[in-house]
Structure 1
Amino acid sequence: MAAFDWFWKAMGGKQGRNQKRSLAIVDQSEARREELSNLEDAALSARARKLCDGGNLSDPAEFLAILAIAAERTLGLSPFPVQSQAVLRLLEGDVIQMATGEGKTLVGAMASTGFGMMGKRVHTITVNDYLAARDAAWMGPLVSFFGLSVAAVVEGMTPDERRQAYRSDIVYAPVNEIGFDVLRDQLITSREDAVQHGADVALVDEADSVLVDEALVPLVLAGNEPGAAPSGRITEIVRRLKEKTHYTVDDERRNVFLTDEGAHELERALGINSLYDDQHVGTTLVQVNLALHAQALLIKDVHYIVRDGKVALIDASKGRVADLQRWPDGVQAAVEAKEGLAVTEGGRILDTITLQALMGRYPEVCGMTGTAVEATDQLRSFYDLRVSVIERNKPLRRFDEADRIYATMAEKNAAIVDEILRIHSTGQPVLVGTQDVAESEELAAALREHDVEVNVLNAKNDAEEAQIIAEAGDIGRVTVSTQMAGRGTDIKLGGADESDHDAVVQLGGLAVIGTARHRTARLDNQLRGRAGRQGDPGLSLFFVSLEDDMIAVGGAGEDVTARPEADGRIDSKRIQDWVEHCQRVTEGQLLEIHSQTWKYNKLLADQRDIIDERRSQLLDTPTAWNELAERSPERAQELAGSIDAAVLEQAAREIMLYHLDFGWSEHLALMDDVRESIHLRAIARETPIDEYHRIAVREFKNLANEAVAEAVDTFNTVLIDAEGAHLDDHGLARPSATWTYMVSDNPLSGSGNSVIKGIGSIFR
């Protein structure tokens, strides 16, 4: 690797001097394992604690040796030298790249334990609930060996259970659960109601997914209020409208627009003069647009499924059902109406935070993934993180075949079926990575017509995930999966017990087939990484058609001619290079979108920090009472004569917090509206981002002043007695129920193998 040191230095990766130092420390730790292995458990733990006095490692080599011995004693796992190297790089704050099957779970647990021993509270952020619970239980004995506590936070836990879990030294949890708990804590009116306790370190598994792919996904907390769903009549009329005649959709299929003919058709069917009259603009037209959005842009089995009579959103980047998530702004109700289901409540957005802003709350961030190098620019630009590449414990034996390119999608799909049948006839196990639920089911049906037994893994049967993945590497298995099998999974050859491991090795290992290239090579490489673990053989092969989403977006406007063979295949180095070019273009688009979007989000994130600080001041000090008493001394004096001081202090706190929270919610709604129309500023020769910032700063100042003024007004008029402030009776009730959802404008969510381009990027 020495020849490439200049490359890693230029890219911000630590593949040079620091890696050489790390390797030297690892060599020393390996040499010291034998002498330290004679120590009793208590002596070993005490020695490790002494090395961590003062929050720094005095002897990293000895510490790594002790961690390795403890892992062997508690888990029966003896870390490879490359795993110890990865632990060291994590402890020094890097994002590490480790290939699939190289033992990232143990590495993360060892590093988390190291941070914990240095007196730091750690949040180990996983891909999903299953992995959080599994890893906390699996790695728990190692953590406990050193006297540290460990717990998992997963969906469905009560506030008390969460509160207790967050008190642990090391907490395993999905990022959305942590984020939603942060948001819910922004509504408390008494400090003891908080469930979060903060943390010093975020150790992020699948770091490129959390920190880059989903970085700008807002986590949203909403309060219940009646929803405005389209009426059944409007839904039925919209269902009959025809694209290009009654409505048009933009190239990215993110927005839908009524044509004049479509508007006239709706007006005729509804018996009204104009959709655009004052009496209809805020009601009927809104419902029409929602129904049209649901009908034209959100596709069943691509963006959502219907399960148990309810609409369940699909997290396109993971292929899983996005539990407890909803679309905002009436879209959820519109889709429910479209599917003929019971329409649920809408909600007022109370608070929101992006994953990138959430990560910014941690003093230290590090992470691990199988595909970090491709995200080096983003990790450095947005988090000031560096990448360390950890070599494999055994050389890679997987063969990555060149893409097979076809002129049309139909020809490509036929070739995919033929290739699966050919490989399956040898007994070699096959994992096929598809882009969405609909495609996975169509491909499985095509294979079953050839009498092939297929295991399908998608959002509809995610409960069977562990069992399907466990057997996917066995002889003769054909597994068709969405992106669910792309991250956080480890497919062992020969089945769960690896009883047929050697036989599968003789057949060539696991064959991985991708039905289309993703918009970033990282997702392709995540799928490839399912094969070739720990020195096993394997094969990866991607099929591409010139009609694929990634090609259409990355090659937009380019006229590329090619001469296909009789079966539609294009065997041309020039076209191979062009496909690579298209992917680089889409990756560049993603980076630009991330950069531009963060410019808008960053100011709101800074303003949220100010709100957080103000809330903490109101919660933890008598500030609320002091400020209200200063502004309304007569009312304060009147109340102080008859009511306990602690009750008055809490009443003032609840009044001030109500108006601060309401003002922040209004501010978020206003800035969302501003951002929707900010592009119009360019017409007036104004810079949209500058104008957005100007409005945001002005309105935020108004928020602060108005929140205090309204709090004083409420203080003067609301009933305050021995039971506190009766805000509910004054029409100032907090929401009786809240729910959470994630919204995404993430182009990665596009349906890559669909002729319909990019529709997954609207909401999630």
Structure 2
Amino acid sequence: MFGAVAKAIFGSSNDRYVKSLDKIVRRIAAYEPAMQSLSDEELTAQTQLFRNRLAQGETLDDILPEAFATCREASKRVLGMRHFDVQMIGGIVMHRGEIAEMRTGEGKTLVATLATYLNAIEGKGVHVVTVNDYLAKRDAEWMGQLYKFLGLSVGVIVPNLSEYERREAYNADITYATNNELGFDYLRDNMKHERGQMVHRPFNYAIVDEVDSILIDEARTPLIISGPTDDKSDLYIAVDAVVKTIDPSLYEADEKTKNISLTEDGVEWVERALETAGLLVGSNLYDIENTMVVHHLDQALKANVMFKRDIDYIVKDEKVVIIDEFTGRMMDGRRWSNGLHQAVEAKEGVRIEPENQTMASITFQNYFRMYPKLGGMTGTAATEAAEFFDIYKMNVVTIPTNVPVQRVDEEDEFYKNTTDKFGAIAKLIREKYESGQPVLVGTVSIEKSEMLSDFLRKEGVKHAVLNARFHEMEAHIVAQAGRLGAVTIATNMAGRGTDIKLGGNLEFRVEDELRDVPEGPEREAAIAKIAAEIEEEKAKVLAAGGLCVIGTERHESRRIDNQLRGRSGRQGDPGLSKFYLCLEDDLLRIFGPDTLFARMMNSNLADGEAIGSKWLSKAIETAQKKVEARNYDIRKQVVEYDNVMNDQRKVIYEQRADIMDAETIGEVVEDMRADTINAIVADACPPGSYPEQWDVEQLKARVDGVLGIPAPIDDWLQEDQLEPETIEERLVALADAHMAEKISNLDESSWRGLEKSVLLERLDHHWKEHLATLDALRQVVFLRAYAQKTPINEYKQEAFGLFEKMLEVIREDVTRILMTAEFRMRPPEDFQLPELPDFLTSHIDPFTGDDDTQSVPGAAAMLGALGAQGAAQAAGPGQGGADPYAGTGISRNSPCPCGSGQKYKHCHGAAD
């Protein structure tokens, strides 16, 4: 009670924090007259003046008011948009490494320019992270005009860029990119064999757009780079044929976790069916020899029962394409993990792509925590504020709107079944359509959007459908959703990135209607005419009540509902929002109130009748909170497990960097050799043991196999009081002498390069094997809970032991190769790199199987990703005559930017 009174009098902590920033906003405003008086050249010169002040010891906070005022004035001149005072507050919040929660239509894209410009002045690089490639390109071009006016360089990272182009983009003052591109580039950088091939600079500052979508929704699934394994298509097809004949009574399905388990009768039935199909070794399904068959059986069951066509995926061009549950978009090239995608391909009868082996991985949590400072912006973050602080140490600050919100949010309406609900929705849409009020309808799946489309066709309502099937038209459909009488059905609205302006969007109408009209007076007149039509239409839409938003059911997350609702009522426009629910909705059916509630609804509601109450709305909100808490636990668990791997990842990546940076690694190799000999001797001659207890045969075999040198061990053993340390010292001396003799016959610089190549190649190979082992460990460590042990603690302990073992194996492997191999140096011109396999980048959920995989186009684009495992030589030296890349600073050992698959010095750089 006291807290509520105090809040009413003094405001919330958020209100007080925002109010405290007014002082800075007034200082920014005080500089505005001075900035207005500057010429364009003088305004541009401000950036260099700020850099000089930073060099003299001032901080970014010291220059913030003037820098923000400079950016505001430049925006007025270049973009025709002046930042509001509340937008200045958003810029300050983002600069401080916090999240600015701003309503839809409040201009978050423009707000980001303030913090981006200020932090880019240092020249250390600022990353602006977007949810898709379209927004990255759009914002880089749109806001890039402002940055370039102020003397800053802008880069954009999209798929299919060469490594040279990526390096140039990362070296820009400001770089726009998607979260996936940034993460995958980081992983690929740490698979390179030369520092000059890496594209990233040291991490500095990032602003994440739609921060809840990227750092919350997508953070449940780690990024993975993988390579192909053996083809098992026949096994998938055979197991799928068996699964399709299983009676539903023989298994139990859990829709919450999308898991399926066979009953006892089901196990017996499956054993007989697999035995008949020749897929079972022996007669017991759970014998160790049948582990692979059990795995494929589980995935085939999940694919056939839990994954629905047109909801979880669609089949397009004879390929299974995943549908993003958060955005409703097709995720072309992305694949479910652990054989699930192959099981769905077998189910649908399309070509089965082979599985892949993990080569590098990282979670978004651990990737973004590498930035010393991280800011964000979104329309919906307050419901996840605790998670943002726990995981990323970022506070959420709600920024007030520039104009008070006029939208009316009506109570939810409940129906018995989907047919009644959709009938009521279609009736309301027809009423709005006839009055001219634009309507935006949010659905949760393609199936539901097409079902509603059928209802609207029967009502005679003209409408547009926006879902994964019509992904290409997304921005154009959304942009015109605010026109008079427009009806738009959208499958989720997360991260659409296009404002719905009442009366229509001028930019998109010009692009659609005047594409073929050349620049000139005629085009200018046509644009002016369209602008006048939009203003006239906007007045009619405002009179009709603004945009009406209808939700066909509640999403698992309140944020997604708020994103849909927030499309209406931008910048003080009137609007209306309402959600329709029924007992058949997934949220109510799986997570909602118990069966008593369902019985009451069924017995007390007539067909077509609706009820609405605050109690029911509260029950739905409680169900959503339960789901959000469950999803948070899943994400937290992913972080806990990846933290273990992250510590090891840092060690490996730092070692790789040290090796690449070192002039010579002779001392490292020498230490490895000594450690290996120490381990061999300690294993055969344990400390404190007697000579007669030593395993002499093992010692001789290991010395011969690993060191490849003749050692008179039998003679040494004849000596009295021989100590293991003496054996070790003598072996080290023999090995050092053998290596010195080998090196004396080789060119010194070539030998240094060879040592680096061997060490990096072995490091990468065993790290890849280690990742596969940890994946397997994570999948079975939960069984330790039956022994009253904490799985995560068991995982940490096992992972540490495996890591120590891996380092030991690497040392022995490198020593064996360098000691036993015969090396003959050949001229570089004769050297030809082996062909690189097609690698995959994937964004895989280890708990649910959700995946986000994309093929890397062209082997040449990945040259250097695995050093010696490069792409096949595809072009002759110096192709194309004069070197077009001369003076660009590209390393002679880097891949040639032309994409030939050769090193630069053997291709276009050969003439240098």
Structure 2 length normalisation: TM-score? 0.77
**Structure 1, unaligned stretches of length 5 or more?**
748-759
1:455 to 456, 464, 468: 464
Letter in 2 for 1:736: P
The answer for the alignment partner of 1:705 in structure 2 is 808
Distance 1:746 1:101 in 2: 36
The answer for the alignment partner of 1:750 in structure 2 is none
Distance 1:206 1:270 in 2: 50
1:491 to 486, 500, 505: 500
1:68-118 CA distance string (max 9 Å, x none) = 001111222111111122112211221101111111111112221111013
The answer for the alignment partner of 2:605 in structure 1 is 565
Tell me whether 1:162 sits opposite 2:174 in the alignment.
Answer: no
Cα distance, 1:241 vs structure 2: 2.5
Tell me whether 1:210 sits opposite 2:214 in the alignment.
Answer: yes
1:148-183 CA distance string (max 9 Å, x none) = 110110122222221221111110001001111111
CA contact (8 A) 1:359 1:365 kept: yes
The answer for the alignment partner of 1:533 in structure 2 is 570
The answer for the alignment partner of 2:31 in structure 1 is 32
Describe the shift of the 1:235–1:711 C-alpha distance in structure 2 as closer, same or farther (beyond 3 A): same
CA contact (8 A) 1:326 1:740 kept: no
Tell me whether 1:412 sits opposite 2:412 in the alignment.
Answer: no
CA contact (8 A) 1:238 1:291 kept: no
Tell me whether 1:508 sits opposite 2:515 in the alignment.
Answer: no
Describe the shift of the 1:689–1:724 C-alpha distance in structure 2 as closer, same or farther (beyond 3 A): farther
Cα distance, 1:735 vs structure 2: 5.5
Letter in 1 for 2:200: Q
After the TM superposition, which of the residue ranges 172-181 and 556-565 deviates more from structure 2? 556-565
Tell me whether 1:545 sits opposite 2:582 in the alignment.
Answer: yes
Distance 1:146 1:478 in 2: 42
CA contact (8 A) 1:628 1:636 kept: no
Tell me whether 1:524 sits opposite 2:554 in the alignment.
Answer: no
CA contact (8 A) 2:244 2:304 kept: no
CA contact (8 A) 2:554 2:579 kept: yes
Distance 1:138 1:243 in 2: 57
CA contact (8 A) 1:617 1:623 kept: no
Tell me whether 1:584 sits opposite 2:622 in the alignment.
Answer: no
Cα distance, 1:254 vs structure 2: 2.0
The answer for the alignment partner of 2:860 in structure 1 is none
CA contact (8 A) 2:130 2:179 kept: yes
Distance 1:476 1:505 in 2: 12
Tell me whether 1:223 sits opposite 2:232 in the alignment.
Answer: no
Distance 1:647 1:10 in 2: 73
What SS does the aligned partner of 2:749 have? helix
Distance 1:761 1:263 in 2: 27
After the TM superposition, which of the residue ranges 555-564 and 453-462 deviates more from structure 2? 555-564
CA contact (8 A) 1:230 1:287 kept: no
Cα distance, 1:476 vs structure 2: 1.6
Tell me whether 1:123 sits opposite 2:127 in the alignment.
Answer: yes
Distance 2:259 2:269 in 1: 15
Letter in 2 for 1:565: L
CA-based RMSD of the aligned residues comes to 3.0
Describe the shift of the 1:193–1:62 C-alpha distance in structure 2 as closer, same or farther (beyond 3 A): closer
Distance 1:681 1:230 in 2: 34
What SS does the aligned partner of 2:351 have? coil
Tell me whether 1:266 sits opposite 2:270 in the alignment.
Answer: no
Distance 2:764 2:593 in 1: 45
The answer for the alignment partner of 2:103 in structure 1 is 99
CA contact (8 A) 2:313 2:321 kept: yes
1:398 to 407, 411, 424: 407
CA contact (8 A) 2:60 2:119 kept: no
CA contact (8 A) 2:47 2:151 kept: no
After the TM superposition, which of the residue ranges 19-28 and 631-640 deviates more from structure 2? 631-640
Describe the shift of the 1:559–1:431 C-alpha distance in structure 2 as closer, same or farther (beyond 3 A): same
Tell me whether 1:23 sits opposite 2:22 in the alignment.
Answer: yes
1:210-262 CA distance string (max 9 Å, x none) = 12222231111001222323547525523532453343322425222342254
The answer for the alignment partner of 2:639 in structure 1 is 598
What SS does the aligned partner of 2:436 have? coil
Cα distance, 1:714 vs structure 2: 2.2
CA contact (8 A) 2:125 2:205 kept: yes
Describe the shift of the 1:384–1:41 C-alpha distance in structure 2 as closer, same or farther (beyond 3 A): same
CA contact (8 A) 1:12 1:376 kept: no
Describe the shift of the 1:488–1:763 C-alpha distance in structure 2 as closer, same or farther (beyond 3 A): closer
Cα distance, 1:545 vs structure 2: 2.0
Describe the shift of the 1:356–1:723 C-alpha distance in structure 2 as closer, same or farther (beyond 3 A): farther
CA contact (8 A) 1:70 1:142 kept: yes
Tell me whether 1:670 sits opposite 2:773 in the alignment.
Answer: yes
The answer for the alignment partner of 1:755 in structure 2 is none
Cα distance, 1:574 vs structure 2: 2.7
Describe the shift of the 1:39–1:574 C-alpha distance in structure 2 as closer, same or farther (beyond 3 A): closer
CA contact (8 A) 1:398 1:537 kept: yes
Describe the shift of the 1:529–1:603 C-alpha distance in structure 2 as closer, same or farther (beyond 3 A): same
Cα distance, 1:623 vs structure 2: 6.0
The answer for the alignment partner of 1:364 in structure 2 is 373
CA contact (8 A) 2:224 2:843 kept: yes
1:250-292 CA distance string (max 9 Å, x none) = 2425222342254145236515663627596145444433333
Describe the shift of the 1:223–1:236 C-alpha distance in structure 2 as closer, same or farther (beyond 3 A): closer
Distance 1:657 1:41 in 2: 52
Describe the shift of the 1:502–1:720 C-alpha distance in structure 2 as closer, same or farther (beyond 3 A): farther
Distance 1:402 1:274 in 2: 59
Letter in 2 for 1:102: E
Distance 1:86 1:346 in 2: 45
Where do residues 164-203 of structure 1 align in structure 2 (5 Å cutoff)?
164-203=168-207
After the TM superposition, which of the residue ranges 597-606 and 427-436 deviates more from structure 2? 597-606
The answer for the alignment partner of 2:140 in structure 1 is 136
The answer for the alignment partner of 1:756 in structure 2 is none
Distance 2:159 2:351 in 1: 24
Aligned length: 746
1:39-78 CA distance string (max 9 Å, x none) = 1233223334434533423243222211100111122211
What SS does the aligned partner of 2:370 have? coil
The answer for the alignment partner of 1:289 in structure 2 is 298
CA contact (8 A) 1:647 1:724 kept: no
Letter in 2 for 1:395: P
Distance 1:558 1:6 in 2: 41
What SS does the aligned partner of 1:395 have? coil
Letter in 2 for 1:503: K
The answer for the alignment partner of 1:610 in structure 2 is 651
The answer for the alignment partner of 1:684 in structure 2 is 787
Identity across aligned pairs (percent)?
35
Distance 1:744 1:61 in 2: 43
CA contact (8 A) 2:71 2:113 kept: no
Distance 2:222 2:11 in 1: 29
Structure 1 length normalisation: TM-score? 0.91
Cα distance, 1:527 vs structure 2: 0.8
Distance 1:86 1:206 in 2: 14
Tell me whether 1:330 sits opposite 2:431 in the alignment.
Answer: no
Describe the shift of the 1:59–1:195 C-alpha distance in structure 2 as closer, same or farther (beyond 3 A): closer
Distance 1:293 1:268 in 2: 21
Describe the shift of the 1:106–1:350 C-alpha distance in structure 2 as closer, same or farther (beyond 3 A): same
Tell me whether 1:696 sits opposite 2:793 in the alignment.
Answer: no
After the TM superposition, which of the residue ranges 179-188 and 37-46 deviates more from structure 2? 37-46
Cα distance, 1:33 vs structure 2: 1.0
What SS does the aligned partner of 1:57 have? helix
Distance 2:286 2:97 in 1: 59
Q: Which has the larger radius of gyration?
A: 2
Letter in 2 for 1:185: D
CA contact (8 A) 1:433 1:485 kept: no
Describe the shift of the 1:578–1:683 C-alpha distance in structure 2 as closer, same or farther (beyond 3 A): same
The answer for the alignment partner of 1:65 in structure 2 is 69
